[in-house]
Structure 1
Amino acid sequence: MVSFTLFGTFILLVFLGAPVAICLGFASLVVLEYLPHTPNITLLAKSAVMGGNSFPLVAIPLFVLAGEVMQRGGLSARIVGAAYTLVGHFKAGLAYVNVLASMFFAAISGSSPATVAAIGSNMIPEMERLGYRRSFSAAITAAAGITGVMIPPSIPLIIYGVTANQSIGKLFLAGIVPGILFGLGYMLVARCIISKNFTPNTHEGSQLDRATKDVNIKRSGWRQHSLWALIIPVIILGGIYGGVFTPTEAAGVAVVYALFVSLIVYRDLKFRELGSVFLNSGLTSATVLVMVVMAASFGRLLTLERIPVEVADMIIQLSDNPIIVLLLINIMLLIVGMFMETIASIIIFTPILLPIVQHLGVDPVHFGVIMTVNLAIGFCTPPLGANLFVATGVAEVSLESLVKAILPFLLSMFVMLMVVTYLPQVTMFLPSLLN
């Protein structure tokens, strides 16, 4: 009865359009207040306070602020210029630039929709003007954006690390290779389907010459200018794994560095704009953190009612073959990612699924990447599809045409997901170097 009421109330509120944090908190409140033989309602308040009382969670608002500063400070245009210099001369060059620039920016922002907005606003108009289909340009931008939740710093990986009590440093390392693999997969898909999606615009001159002039930054001098942006991931990751500072302290360093580069070096961000930057990052951070504290009560009830144990027993009864169990979990998480926000999904399902995979001998760090990749694909699948909606707004294309154009990239995502799931060496190679 408790399980039915808890999940029934939550699902009903989700379909009514209530914010996920309200859904989690109200579902817990209904169970504690109205059902007999349940803990006292004070458990809701205590669990919420304990859920927010976590030092690693401080990294979330700091990384969000750093990403907002960098997005407003002109770093995305300079990253596009650097990416163009590296891969723009190949066939399908601007498609490769789009993917590579998204991977660079992902290593700065840690957010998938933010990556789509920042890179898309630079790349989609340029790609279209030079002969790329607008729907194709929007599709590759939306797909490349999900590397933002794999390549560190990744906010979902921080949430998983806190929920599963795992090393955030190891999780950051574990996400690097999968993020790169996804990027290479998108480039391969773009190369295979480029003939159907690119017609050179002869009136605009050659593709490379025009791109050199108009991708919002001059190619000349990019080393002096873009290097300030590209060095940020090196500072963050080098400091963490060099033992200079913790992941949470690295977030503070990222904020200070981003402010210095945006205000002093590039001067694209003005002091008068800092108020709106702080406001936007504060609103985003509040949304995430309220969800975290409300989900703590929800997760506490799941544990007290032994729901994770029951779900684990049910799945193991279906099969004790790790291949089959991981496939079932992947299917479930892909469906969940289509309907539920990534952070809420991680908080809710980690306590349920982690005991199952640990029973099968799957490393918790490896499973964190599997879960994050699964749910990240939800950014590119309706009806939730945050990346899709951001890309439609930037590119001004219909959702239907974008969904059709992104199908080849979705196929690549599923292939890469299987690689990440069943070849743990791909994920665990870099973390193993810390042991």
Structure 2
Amino acid sequence: MMILIICAVVLLFVGAPIAVAIAGSTTVAIGTSGIFGLEVVPQQMFIALNSFPLMAIPFFILAGHLMQVGGISERLIDFGSALIGHLTGGLAMAAVLTSMFFAAISGSGAATVAAIGSILIPAMLAHGYGRGFTAANQAVSGALGVIIPPSIPLILFAVAANESAGDMFLAGILPGIIVTMSLLLMAYFYSRKRGYKGVQKATGKELLIAFRRSILALLMPVIVLGGIYGGIFTPTEAAVVAVLYALIVGFVYKRFTLKKLADAFADSSVTSAIVMIVIAAAGLFAFYINVLGFPDQILAFMESINLGVVGFLILANLLLLIAGMFIEAAAAILIFVPILLPMAVGLGIDPVHFGMIMVVNLSVGLVTPPVGLNLFVASDLAKMSLSALSKAVIPFILVLLISIAIVSGVPQLSLWLPNLISGG
């Protein structure tokens, strides 16, 4: 185990991507252990990818990219602004609300920031909002993309924990609403303190027009999630339906060009490849630590110090928050599920509930340096330094920590809908 840790630290120190660091260090550890031959490396990496539910990931990624270039974000922003833009801090709250809508389409935090922020960040700056608050508000709102279903991290947890992706999607709805409401309150009270006024109130006719223009976009999560829970198709099949629907909507809105379509497919291919490489590397790592009996050793240690449920949850939350600062969410889920989940189950914590605790924690990693991807996207859109944005985002992180405490301490927020649908 020590060889694995040393190699991983060295590779990360020299700037190797996280997937390379995980796979490279694990390969060296396997090669020097004498337990297996190196032929297990490609075998286990293939096994990690050989899962039908994982096929949903590239399709949901493609659907998100198609929605991004298909005119969806503009219509969602118009609807969100017409709905609450006239309130104090209206544009800031519209950014949160629109990000929630878009998150139910894209499943990606960075895509949500790029699609919504490219329009609302300049609009907020033009209306006198502070640059730091504007960028931080959009960066944190984008984190909803990994909490609200369909979400790639929720799929990954379902695969790693051998749980139902449909149950995980259901589990993400109420925690996603809790986080959304906390961000709306943060935007409102901060804006009231700073005197950020709303835009002109939309008339009933304007609100109706904005709703009508966005109805096709708003229907997508209804069709996808409704089809899953109605037993019409599996989450993987739902991802394919999402792609077809995104193509139809894009053509209806007349926003597609050959170049936009080619770029969407190319970007989706690159993103999917990156995610799959991380999954393969993390699968190899999980195989090796299980062979060493590492999860059982940690479980025995935790039982020996008798932390209890509350102590374990506090320790797990701290570990995941720190890990999220340095490790991308997909890799963190696949690395920590085989380590932490057996302990959680041993203490009587429901796996679905623990999955939501993991995902909400790791969503914070999107807005914490040095790896926080949302920060990079938002800082570029707002034309401000990453260090300045990292300071501006601190109050928002405190709000997210409160949401984490609520999700951790109230299991029914995650379990009520899955139990209701399954009849449990």
Normalization by structure 1: what TM-score?
0.93
**Aligned-pair CA distance for 1:403:** 2.1
Aligned runs of 1:248-397 on 2, under 5 Å? 248-263=236-251, 265-397=252-384
Is the 8 Å Cα contact of residues 132 and 198 (structure 1) preserved in structure 2? Answer: no
Which residue is 1:240 aligned to? 228
What is the alpha-carbon distance in structure 2 between the residues aligned to residue 369 and residue 69 of structure 1? 27
**CA distance in structure 1 between the partners assigned to 2:195 and 2:106 by the alignment:** 30
2:181 corresponds to = 184
Pick aligned residue for 1:170 from 167, 175, 185 = 167
The equivalent residue for 1:64 is: 61
How far is 1:290 from its partner? 1.3
CA distance in 2 between partners of 1:212 and 1:391 (Å): 28
Cα shift at 1:48: 1.1
1:93-132 → structure 2 map (5 Å cutoff): 93-132=90-129
Residue 9 of structure 1 is aligned with which of 2, 7, 18?
A: 7
The superposition leaves residues 268-289 of structure 1 with CA deviations (integer Å, 9 ceiling, x where unpaired) of 1113432221111000000001
Question: What is the deviation of 1:199?
Answer: 4.9
1:11 shift after superposition: 2.4
Task: Please say if residues 87 and 97 of structure 1, whose CA atoms lie closer than 8 Å, have aligned partners that are also in contact.
Answer: yes
Deviation, structure 1 residue 85: 2.1
1:330 aligns to what SS in structure 2? helix
Given that 2:56 and 2:236 are in contact with CA atoms closer than 8 Å, whether structure 1 keeps it comes out as yes
Q: Kindly tell me: are residues 199 and 252 of structure 1, through their superposed partners in 2, closer, same or farther at Cα, counting changes over 3 Å?
A: closer
Residue 212 of structure 1: CA displacement? 6.5
Partner of 1:145: 142
Per the TM alignment, residue 168 of structure 1 is displaced from its structure 2 partner at its CA by 0.3
1:158 matched to 2:155: yes
Q: Tell me if the contact between 2:83 and 2:202 (Cα under 8 Å) persists in the aligned partners.
A: no
Q: Is the 8 A contact 2:279 2:331 kept in 1?
A: yes
Show the counterpart of 1:85.
82
Q: d(CA) in 2 for partners of 1:297 and 1:339?
A: 20
- Which residue is 1:203 aligned to? none
- Of 201, 208, 228, 2:199 maps to 208
Q: Does 1:223 align with 2:211?
A: yes
- Give 1:57 shift: 0.5
In structure 1, the residue matched to 2:416 is 429
- Name structure 1 gaps, 5 residues minimum: 201-206
Name the % identity.
44
**Partner deviation per Cα, 1:185-217 (whole Å, 9 max, x = no partner):** 0111122221444455xxxxxx523x979xxxx
* Equivalences for residues 35-46 of structure 1 within 5 A: 35-36=33-34, 38-46=35-43
Which secondary structure state, in structure 2, belongs to the residue aligned with residue 433 of structure 1?
helix
Q: Which amino acid aligns with 2:199?
A: L
2:104/2:145 contact within 8 Å kept: yes
In the alignment, the residues of structure 2 paired with residue 247 and residue 66 of structure 1 have an alpha-carbon distance, to the nearest angstrom, of 13
SS in 1 for 2:334: helix
* One of 56, 72, 76 as aligned partner of 1:75: 72
Range moving further from structure 2, 5-14 or 281-290: 5-14
Verify the 8 A CA contact 1:319 1:325 in the aligned structure 2: no
The equivalent residue for 1:23 is 21
User: Could you tell me which amino acid in structure 1 is paired with residue 158 of structure 2?
Assistant: G
Q: Check conservation: 1:68, 1:109, Cα contact below 8 A.
A: yes
SS of the residue 1:40 aligns to: coil
Determine if the alignment matches structure 1 residue 194 to structure 2 residue 194.
no
The Cα shift of 1:134 comes to 1.5
Instruction: Tell whether the 8 Å contact from 1:133 to 1:198 is kept in structure 2 after alignment.
Output: no
Larger CA deviation: 286-295 vs 147-156? 286-295
Where does structure 2 lack aligned partners over 5 or more consecutive residues?
Answer: none
Q: Would the alpha carbon gap of residues 422 and 220 (structure 1) be closer, same or farther in structure 2, given more than 3 Å must change?
A: closer
2:421 match: secondary structure: coil
Query: For 1:143 and 1:4, how far apart are their aligned partners in 2?
Result: 36
Return the alpha-carbon distance in structure 2 between the equivalents of residues 30 and 76 of structure 1.
Answer: 46
Give 1:32's aligned residue.
30
Q: Give me the TM-score of the superposition, normalised by structure 2.
A: 0.96
Measured in 2, the distance between the counterparts of 1:9 and 1:157 equals 29
8 Å CA contact 2:89–2:196 kept in 1: the answer is: no
Residue 182 of structure 1: how far off its partner (Å): 0.7
Q: Does the CA-based 8 Å contact 2:89-2:192 persist in structure 1? A: no
Cα pair distance change 1:197/1:385, threshold 3 Å = farther
Distance (Å, rounded) in 1 between the aligned partners of 2:88 and 2:105 = 27
Once the two structures are TM-superposed, the CA of residue 384 in structure 1 deviates from its matched residue by 1.1
Q: Aligned letter for 2:166?
A: G
Once residues 316 and 375 of structure 1 are traced to their aligned partners in structure 2, the CA distance between those partners, rounded to angstroms, is 25
Structure 1 SS opposite 2:393? helix
